[in-house]
Amino acid sequence: MTDALSPSDIAKRASALRAAEFVEPGMRVGLGTGSTAAFLVQRLGERLRSEGLRIRGVPTSARTADLAQAEGIEVTTLEEVGWLDITIDGADEVDGRLDLIKGGGGALLREKIVATASERVVIIADAGKRVGTLGAFPLPVEVIPFGLGATRRLVEDLLAGADVGARQVELRLRDGRPFVTDEGNHILDLRLERIGNARQLSLGLNQIPGVVENGLFLGIADTLVVGRPDGGAEVVDMSQADGVPFAGTDNIFTEVVD
């Protein structure tokens, strides 16, 4: 199966296979969105068929729900289960504190709701997603369609005083039309290059009328599983101060050491 995959996809799949080991029978599982999360759902389907694994999955998008149902996984809602044992999802960027940028697939709102309603959040990624400073990947901001122009201007005004490397705001399009999320909203992609103070920026964005949520996932992830092109995977857990270095000059446990 891995012969037809690119080195990046082999790494993504490796991270998903390792993370799938955290899922135990009877768990309520948040199922992420994106190419790496798709490998996870497929693996859980394999376990269902080979081991009889029974779980209840809460998908973060319609795409994930369709895939989970095709794999035979019981799909439910957050309202029905109330709380989740674990959520496993991908990321577009992850820094040394396990802070993330997510939302490249357009499901950031549901992803953040599901993640924050979980006992444990496991992020799966290939090594290319690890960065010293967040911001190279465009930051998605979900906004309601009403008053979109005014909301965009307020976002641009906020960025004018923010500690970022660039300040380009683009409306996400699909087939020449505004991209529509599963919740019926649009997405502004902020091309910032570098985010100096992610927490301040996140708070500022979410105070703007018309902004529903932003793609900064701060202090949410508990564990990172990084896949390698050789099919292996590395597990980085915030509870283990083992000094694992990330790309750039940051270290995941710098603040702990200090």
Q: How many helices (H) and strands (E) does the chain have?
A: 8, 16
Whether residues 97 and 225 fall in one domain = yes
Of the candidates 117, 112, 87, 88, the residue with the CA atom closest to the CA atom of residue 102: 112
One domain, residues 156 and 95: no
Q: What is the predicted pLDDT for the residue at 238?
A: 81
* Residue 159 in domain: yes
44: in domain: yes
CATH code for the domain in which residue 199 is found: 3.30.70.260
- The residues near 214 (Cβ < 8 Å, ≥ 6 apart) are 103, 108, 139, 140, 141, 142, 201, 202, 205, 206
111 is an active site residue: yes
Tell me what pLDDT residue 251 has: 34
12 annotated as belonging to a binding site for a ligand? no
**Annotated binding-site residue? 91:** yes
Would you say 19 is a known binding-site residue? no
Instruction: Note whether 171 and 226 are same-domain residues.
Output: no
> Are 56 and 127 in the same domain?
yes
Task: Please indicate if the annotation marks 33 as binding a ligand.
Answer: yes
Partnered with residue 164 across adjacent β-strands are 195
Best CA proximity match to 223, nearest among 198, 249, 252, 196: 252
Q: Does the annotation flag 60 for ligand binding?
A: no
Q: Could you give the number of structural domains in the chain?
A: 2
Q: Are residues 103 and 229 in the same domain?
A: yes
The reported pLDDT for the residue numbered 245 is: 41
Is 184 marked within a binding site? no
Regarding whether 69 and 196 lie in a shared domain, the answer is no
The three-state secondary structure class of 97 is coil
Is 257 part of any domain? Answer: no
Catalytic residue, chosen from 111, 183, 213, 234, is 111
* Residue 149 marked as a ligand binder: no
In this structure, are 86 and 143 located in the same domain? no
Tens of pLDDT, residue by residue, the chain (258 residues): 556 899 999 999 999 999 999 999 999 999 999 999 999 999 999 999 999 999 999 999 999 999 999 999 999 999 999 999 999 999 999 999 999 999 999 999 999 999 999 999 999 999 999 999 999 999 999 999 999 999 999 999 999 999 999 999 999 999 999 999 999 999 999 999 999 999 999 999 999 999 999 999 999 999 999 999 999 999 999 865 233 444 433 332 223 223
Residue numbers of the domain that contains 197:
139-212
d(CA 68, CA 138): 28
Residue carrying the six token digits 């135990």: 24
Is 129 a known ligand-binding residue? yes
Residue 253 within any structural domain of the chain: no
15 and 111, same domain (yes or no) = yes
Q: Which residues of 154-163 are buried (b: 16+ CB within 10 A; e: fewer)?
A: bbeebbeebe
Q: Is 72 annotated as a binding residue?
A: no
Q: Do 69 and 184 have their domain in common?
A: no
User: Quick one: pLDDT at residue 3?
Assistant: 62
The answer to whether residue 152 is domain-embedded is: yes
